[in-house]
Amino acid sequence: MHRLWLLFVFTISLSISAGEPAMAATQLKDGLYANFRTAKGDILCRLEFKKTPLTVANFVGLAEGTKDLGGGAKAKGDRFYDGLTFHRVIADFMIQGGCPLGTGTGGPGYTFPDEIDPSLTHSGPGILSMANAGPNTNGSQFFITHVPTPWLDGKHTVFGHVVTGQDVVNKIAGGDTINAVEILRVGAEAEAFKSDQQAFDNLLLGMEERQKEKERAAVEETARIIKERWPEAITT
């Protein structure tokens, strides 16, 4: 009987452990989340899929293996982030991951534009943001802050923040492994958010069209000002 009781308790414990992500999802507010599993604990981040849809679609697509890769170190269908490391950790600054080579020089084999939203800033610990090599060079690498880093505002795309697990962020050391990145969708809007290659392409096209329209509007405004101030001027 004692052995049967121990077996029962062990079975229940396994069931609870296996169900933790699903149970956590039922307690979360509606939204899209990424759960980073590490040996030191989990880091749960809320993703800003409404304000930075292109960046989030890219991240989620890589995490779930639904993005096409342009010669990246992993094949389409692989969960891109699983097994990668936090290759760069700077105390009192941030932890950085998402490089398939583990050197900080790798990526998914393509880049995409910055998606800066002025309401999303590097305002404190736990900010999830894209690492890059300059303007419009986003790929797969990301970082999570230890402290406010306002000098990065406007230069790096903020696309989420830590909900729980900032203590884990603070424990991460260089070379620690990302065992898995699990995506949690809570609520109808999050469930409807698409992150496959077609969705990413559509979002990218929309961004490019909006940028062209913005540039056209700027040219027209400049022409209007010139005509208003110097009506006799001849433009070429």
Residues involved in catalysis = 88, 93, 96, 132, 143, 152, 156
What residues pair up with 128 in beta bridges, in sequence order?
A: 144, 160
d(CA 145, CA 169): 8
Q: Beta-carbon neighbour count of residue 9 at 10 Å? A: 10
Q: What is the DSSP string of 179-224?
A: -EEEEEEESHHHHH---SHHHHHHHHHHHHHHHHHHHHHHHHHHHH
Determine contact, residues 62/159, Cβ cutoff 8 Å: no
Here the tokens at position 187 are 């609520």
Determine contact, residues 70/115, Cβ cutoff 8 Å: no
